[in-house]
Amino acid sequence: MQIYKVGGAVRDRLLGKPVTDIDWVVVGATAEEMLANGFRPVGADFPVFLHPKSGEEYALARTERKSGRGYGGFTFHASPEVTLEEDLIRRDLTINAMAEDDQQNLTDPYHGQRDLEARLLRHVSPAFAEDPLRVLRVARFAARYAALGFTVAPETLGLMRELSESGELEALTAERSWKEISRALMEDQPQVFIEVLRECGALKVLMPEVDALFGVPQPKAHHPEIDTGVHTLSVLEQSALHKQPLTVRWACLLHDLGKGLTPEEEWPRHIAHEHTGLKLIKTVNERFKAPKDCQELALLVGQYHTHGHRALELKPSTLLELLQSLDVYRRPQRFEEFISACEMDARGRKGLELRSYPQADYLRGAATAARSVAVQPLLEKGFKGPELGEAIKRERLKALKAYKEEAST
Ligand code: CTP
């Protein structure tokens, strides 16, 4: 049997990037031989094995044919006769379809190296269309390698467009989609992921709520970039520049969905978009079964981001409501993430990227003031149950009034 390094490990070595996962392909072997050599099978009828020591994936060279709609609708053909070239041709991109032996000799029948040099994400063959998840993968690679100058080849974009129009994307499971989306959002230029999806028509299918933001104007005074979609991309870009966690990036992407629902006659104003957007945020959260922390933060940021921006003008009672809704007493980290998302929203505007955001420290100070209210003295005064809750609130309100007064002097 011959063993080759394939896929991302070869691509990233040639790009001079760190290699984390190594995938191997085995040519000329049977499953029985693999088992006899101590490899552990990954699934019952999937020709992939784990190395007994390294735990890395070793796949028998295989051909694939699509036999039905969606994922799972595949038939595999793995046998010792399948050649390396046959295995590589079923892969997604030419830059992912190179193999290397233990002497670093490259097998590159589909010119991956040429495309690496040309900075092109190009599909290998029409077999690309057999897995619609590849539309998201290409957009993710575009986000990852944008800084290196990579773009999607026009013919690949065309194929992605056909796939998006065919209804195939709807067959993707929430889990597979979320894995791609969450990885893409954590790339250096997550806005490119959304741009590429939009360009090939996939955004309209996957997240019509985000797609609808393009072409929707906002008031120039607060939003020199005017377009809500452009603004959303800038907010996402800021979130990556500031190394924000996934929760914040997800909230950034969804924070203004309500603006897509504003009747045209009300443009460029978007009264109550924080409220109207909540239903849409919930729908998108659920569509991809986003993790709970992402879901929660997106909803809170959607509902309260304008409160964040107006923090210094808020009445103490409104400030208290905000802090209560954010449960700053028990969820300090989420509160920080909320502040970060608001700050990214404020900076994700044309020409305002470097502005300061005094609201952040003001909100932190307010939370400290509200948290400083001690419960013990109230218990000692005999407050219990709902009355105790009311008494704590009253004391917090007092503390916030004092805080606001002090801050304004
Ligand atoms: N592959 C594919 N189509 C898919 C998934 C994977 O063709 N839908 C192939 C590609 O050749 C890819 C390899 O399987 O390079 C390994 O896939 P994976 O580990 O998911 O991705 P990597 O290319 O290694 O990239 P990453 O750095 O994102 O892990």
Q: What is the pLDDT of residues 100-123, one digit of tens each?
A: 999 999 999 999 999 999 999 999
Q: How many whole angstroms from 96 Cα to the centroid of ligand 1?
A: 7
Alpha carbons 378 and 346: distance in angstroms, whole number: 39
Locate the domains of the chain by residue range: 1-111, 243-359, 372-408
**Whole-number pLDDT of residue 195:** 98
Tell which atom from ligand 1 comes closest to the C-alpha of 7: 15
> Is residue 44 scored above 80 in pLDDT?
no
Alpha carbons 201 and 165: distance in angstroms, whole number: 7
**Whole-number pLDDT of residue 68:** 60
Q: How many other C-beta atoms are found inside a 10 Å radius of the C-beta of residue 75?
A: 10
The pair of structure tokens assigned to 328 is 């700053």
SS (H, E, C) the chain: CEEEEECHHHHHHHHCCCCCCCEEEEECCCHHHHHHCCCEECCCCCCEEECCCCCCEEEECEEEEECCCCCCCEEEEECCCCCHHHHHHCCCEHHHCCEECCCCCEECCCCHHHHHHHCEECECCHHHHHCCHHHHHHHHHHHHHHHHCCEECHHHHHHHHHHHHCCHHHHCCHHHHHHHHHHHHCCCCHHHHHHHHHHCCHHHHHCHHHHCCCCCECCCCCCCCCEHHHHHHHHHHHHHHCCCCHHHHHHHHHCCHHHHHCCHHHCCCCCCHHHHHHHHHHHHHHHCCCCHHHHHHHHHHHHHHHHHHCHHHCCHHHHHHHHHHCCCCCCHHHHHHHHHHHHHHHHCCCCCCCCCCHHHHHHHHHHHHHHCCCCHHHHHCCCCHHHHHHHHHHHHHHHHHHHHHHHHC
Alpha carbons 237 and 252: distance in angstroms, whole number: 9
Cis peptide leading into residue 217 (ω within 30°): no
CB-ligand 1 contact for 209 (6 Å cutoff)? no
**Whole-number pLDDT of residue 3:** 97
**Whole-number pLDDT of residue 205:** 98
Q: Is 7 helix (H, G, I), strand (E, B) or coil?
A: coil
**Whole-number pLDDT of residue 43:** 78
**Whole-number pLDDT of residue 70:** 52
**Whole-number pLDDT of residue 158:** 98
**Whole-number pLDDT of residue 367:** 98
CB-ligand 1 contact for 21 (6 Å cutoff)? yes
Q: How many other C-beta atoms are found inside a 10 Å radius of the C-beta of residue 127?
A: 17
The pair of structure tokens assigned to 150 is 């990579």
CB-ligand 1 contact for 270 (6 Å cutoff)? no
Per residue in 144-191, pLDDT (tens digit) is 999 999 999 999 999 999 999 999 999 999 999 999 999 999 999 999
Tokens 């009311």 locate to 390
> Is residue 66 scored above 90 in pLDDT?
no
Q: How many other C-beta atoms are found inside a 10 Å radius of the C-beta of residue 131?
A: 21
Question: Which one of 14, 23, 95 would you pick to mutate in the ligand 1 pocket, going by the greatest count of ligand atoms within 8 A of its CB?
Answer: 23
| Residue count of the chain | 409
Per residue in 258-274, pLDDT (tens digit) is 999 999 999 999 999 99
Q: How many whole angstroms from 9 Cα to the centroid of ligand 1?
A: 9
Per residue in 314-349, pLDDT (tens digit) is 999 999 999 999 999 999 999 999 999 999 999 999
**Whole-number pLDDT of residue 46:** 75
Nearest C-alpha neighbor of 127 from the set 155, 164, 178, 90: 90
Distance of CA 111 to the CA centre of its chain: 30
Alpha carbons 310 and 330: distance in angstroms, whole number: 23
The residue nearest atom 8 of ligand 1, judged by CA position, is: 134
> Is residue 72 scored above 60 in pLDDT?
no
Single-letter residue type at 219: P
Per residue in 129-138, pLDDT (tens digit) is 999 999 999 9
48 — phi, psi (to 5°)? -120, 140
CB-ligand 1 contact for 132 (6 Å cutoff)? no
**Whole-number pLDDT of residue 409:** 84
Q: How many whole angstroms from 155 Cα to the centroid of ligand 1?
A: 20
How far CA 40 is from CA of 203, 204, 407, in Å, comes to 39, 42, 64
Q: How many other C-beta atoms are found inside a 10 Å radius of the C-beta of residue 262?
A: 20
Nearest C-alpha neighbor of 270 from the set 347, 217, 231: 217
> Is residue 55 scored above 70 in pLDDT?
yes
**Mean pLDDT across 280-307:** 98
Q: For 1-111, which CATH superfamily applies? A: Beta Polymerase, domain 2 (3.30.460.10)
Tell which atom from ligand 1 comes closest to the C-alpha of 183: 28
Mean pLDDT of the chain: 95
Q: How many whole angstroms from 210 Cα to the centroid of ligand 1?
A: 27
Nearest C-alpha neighbor of 185 from the set 253, 286, 257, 283: 253
